[in-house]
Structure 1
Amino acid sequence: MKKVRVRFAPSPTGALHLGGVRTALYDYLFAKNQGGEFVLRIEDTDTARYVEGAEEYIMDSLEWCGIIPDESPKVGGPYAPYRQSERRDIYDRYKEQILKTDFAYLAFDTPEELDAIRKDFEARGDVFSYNYQTRQQLKNSISLSQDDVQKLLDANVPYVVRFKMPVDRTLNLQDIIRGNFSVNTNTLDDKVLIKNDGMPTYHFANVVDDFEMKISHVIRGEEWLPSMPLHVLLYEAMDWEAPEFAHLSLILKPEGKGKLSKRDGAKFGFPVFPMNFKDPESDEIWKGYKESGYFPEAFINMTALLGWTPANDKEIVSMDEMIAEFDLHKVHKAGARFDPQKAKWFNQE
């Protein structure tokens, strides 16, 4: 039986939100319940949105919560480095590998050319998608001759690497929380895998890193569910065994409509972050549970129950009790409504 290895892979683009803490916690509880390992990986390839101090904040917050990684940028480990920005040579190697398959191609279209095509489609009442229907008419290594492609490469014309989505295939997918579902590949576009600066997009880096780090289960928010077909196909393209997937439902606003956001906390006077976070751009301070007088045990107890219920509907549970009992199959499909009054109740017990 394959060893259980999970990862929490946040981007350092701001403070660690309550939803992120819950994902990390469920990763940690599942790994410890299964005698496995919990990895912290920093996905910092989005340099435009990088926020100074965010990585340190994430690590400090997890430590305060008692969610201690077995491997991370801080403690190291056998699959280092654990920052994506330090793994460029690894991505370059796998870029060459996928380009030898029939699942990827070079695309030379400029952003301006693609914008013009989008506007043309909109004028006709259509929506443009770079996919199996349009790629043959665009500037890429599928539509161009080998000589023309080589001339563009020799002239150092910028290009991206796109995934070549198979035509009219039905993918039968399985999610531990969501169950079984099907997707037809004709509904999916040819996503960019490598940007024109040579850096991988989230999709490619994520799959490469999960393979390299021997991740057995990918536990993440439901906003990534639409990416699952592409990620499963990337594993197929590379001839790798895919991990198991579990997509967590949203944490909802107190009134139950829509995703809980930091603005809700500011508006209604409750924290949505584990610790205070000072925005380096605006100097705005976002309130945290630690500085608001909450015990980490109470905060984690409250967070764990936003989407999972222990046996006998027990509400006060220690970390050790959670580890002993946690089961991904018992995580709720429906969104969990956040109750600020309940948070206070946990802290008083």
Structure 2
Amino acid sequence: MTEYWVSQARKFCDTCKCWIADNKSSIEFHESGRKHQLNTEKRLTDIRKRSTIQDKKAEKQAQWIEQMEAAALKDYRNKDLAQGADLSARIFHETKAQREAEKEALTASILAQKAEIQAGQDEKATDLSSCERASSSTSNVSTNDPMPGSSCLQTVVAPKSGTPWHKDPKKWFEAVSEQGHQFFWHVETKESRWDVPSEGFLSIAEQAEIKKKKEAAKAKREVMAQQSKAIHGEHKQEYVSPVPLGPNGKPQPYGSWQAVESVDPDTFDYQTPQVKAAPQAAATLHNDRDYNFKTKATPSLGGTASTNLTSSTSGIVFKKRKVNAEHKKNVRRRTDE
């Protein structure tokens, strides 16, 4: 059988562009070397530079595309929509005119409100000046006791309900008695009446609608809570042991005792196929078997016990071996014969 040499397995390092022995110790020695680490750092620096250049190119391309889209949209508005050749141009003009009309109406309403506020402030200023003149002209009135009926000394509280921004809540609710008669009851005073209240009331349909909205909001909150639990998981509250009261104990040189908690390992389901065992025949056990042991007796070879044997038994005879005549030729004979 011929002998041949088997070369050792080798591995190519892509970072250093060299071959090394393919074993654990050689690979670890090469990777922990200064040359390999410098080459790795240099390669990472090149990758960062290339990625930065690619990001700048992509950003410039996105800006260029955005400028193209803006220029195209500007030409479409100035040329195509101005002519009104298609349906989209007419819709655009209608919506634009509607927005302008709404903007003008809103501006006019704001100006009117400002004018009303300014007129009210001017009126209050005139009232205050008249009150000051009246107080200075009258000498019989003390300066420490203000006039109880003067309008300039009364504080005006801004209304918090009954305005377009603060609607007055309805406190009368509609209900139906057991006999089917309609009545109204007050939420705060619990007063009930048969006639319709002048302040307005909340009908049964409106009550059902409000209840439906509350239930929908509650269901939405529950769904959002479940979704947040599914994404972030349930935050379990850690048990904080109570701090023992009293003087501090003697410090231990090796630290205090800590209770070790046994943590059960997580069981993973590898989804392996279940192998069913082959059916086995039921074995029949027999515990009632009887075993009979017999003693084997051998004939006597002679001696004192031979007298007990019968006369018909023959003794043991050793036969003499017969020497073959051909075998005598090989036997060395005497020289004197």
Q: Greater helix share, 1 or 2? A: 2
TM-score bin (small chain): under 0.3
TM-score scaled by length of structure 2: 0.14
| Larger RCO: 1 or 2 (CA < 8 Å, sep 6+) | 1
Greater Rg over alpha carbons, structure = 2
Q: Greater strand share, 1 or 2? A: 1
